[in-house]
Amino acid sequence: MAIIISSSMSDSGKSLVTSALVRHFRGIPFKAQNMSLNSYPTHDGGEIAFIQAFQAMGSGLQPERFMNPILLKPSGKGIEVIFWGESQGNFSPNEYYSRLTTYWEKIRSSVREDMVVESAGGLGEPNFMERDITGFKLMQEGIQAILVLDIDRGGAFASAFGIYQMLPSSVRDKLRGFIINKFRGDEKLLEPAISWLESKTSMKYLGIIPYDDRLRIMAEDSMNVSDLGDGELEVDVVAYPYMSNFNEFHVFEKSNARLRFVTRPSHLSKADLIILPGTRNTKLSLSWLVERGFTEVLRRKPVLGVCGGFQIMGKTLHDPYGLEAGEPSSYEGLNLLPINVRFRRNKVVSLSLGESEYGLIRGYEIRRGEIEYIEGKPLLLITKRNHEHVEIYDGSRNGQYVGLSVHGSLFSEGGRRLLEDFGIKLRAGSIEEEISTSVDKVYHLLRDTLDLDAIEQIYMDSMVKHA
């Protein structure tokens, strides 16, 4: 029992459908390889793509390393490769692919018969097919697949037929069905095209997902970020290059603010709060801020920095191993907070708990930057990392400038009370509660539009060869 949720392109709705089917089958989410700057810690300190953690938590499961064996994080100086939760370092594409066969052997042996598999990008790309460990190679292992087609962009039926024709005959019959996503209008208008595709292939029509604003889950990458909330205050997130872990700002969907992602200083004129989010490359993101002319407006407005954004707000950033800049260097920050940052070889990946004057701050850390205080007092004391007791000072406040390293902190009591100083009221529950509610809503909407009996038969028909 297993199924692959695939498509002809990225951002077609694969993650959405996978989230719902993990809930329906009481299965396990799985994506062999994911390229994303949004990640999340497992309970034992491993790092996986956030969307697989989202799919797990949405069904009451604990995120585990095997759910996303390979996470690729572009850094501007190559690609950081995370394998089985552990950073392997920065590789060029050729260096990564030279190791893929070795990685695949362990991944292949971990595939189970209760998985809902999300493939990456488009299935059947001729230049990539033999290296596609997220879809094609798993079809060779006996797992059957369905396509999620984004009709809002056009070309859905042509791309589905093209994928079917491009797949070798040895796996073509594993492509069992298709779902039409983001449809607006009268479903009857699609009937001729649906019948045509069914007659030309062995795929079965499995239902339609209407275009619906309620069918929105936390964004996986920057190509599908969108504004959130409709309150009277304005919060602007600066979307610089290599922005990471920005899905934590879904907390503003339930608030008295509206949140926008912006790329120009002029867009910040009405901001009541500016957020500098996490970044995979502080040096490039900082250079972009300065070159685009953000410095002046950041000095006039309240600013919250999270992780990499917090580091950028400091005085000096020291990178003795070239982990951020690509070569050993030190560079000046925005000098908004009285801290320095030093990047260490060892990477902190943890579910974290801290104490502050605002209350408990709960979230997660994914960073190499260590905070060094020049003056002032820390904002919080981190007391637990992955359930182990620690004493790590973190965060800083200098008037209207605030920063901390803990992602997801705004879903906790301390984070909510901190933002009250800026007039912002957050009404969201914990991140686990909000994810569960989101997936529950998606599942109940899709349950009414998809042929779940037919999808379940495909799920039951898959027989993983080595299981």
407 belongs to the catalytic site:
yes
Round to whole Å and give the CA distance between 36 and 72. 6
318 belongs to the catalytic site:
no
User: Distance from CA of residue 48 to its chain's centroid?
Assistant: 9
Round to whole Å and give the CA distance between 433 and 362. 14
Q: Exactly one of 43, 267, 318, 407 is catalytic; name it.
A: 407
Residue 280: how many other CB atoms lie within 10 Å: 22
- Return all residues near 53 (Cβ < 8 A) that are at least 6 apart: 40, 42, 63, 67
Could you tell me the two tokens for 11?
């951002």
- Return all residues near 408 (Cβ < 8 A) that are at least 6 apart: 248, 362, 363, 364, 431
Round to whole Å and give the CA distance between 307 and 330. 18
Of 5, 201, 282, 278, the closest CA to residue 121 belongs to 5
Cα diameter, the chain? 72
Q: Exactly one of 24, 250, 267, 307 is catalytic; name it.
A: 307
Show which residues are catalytic: 307, 407
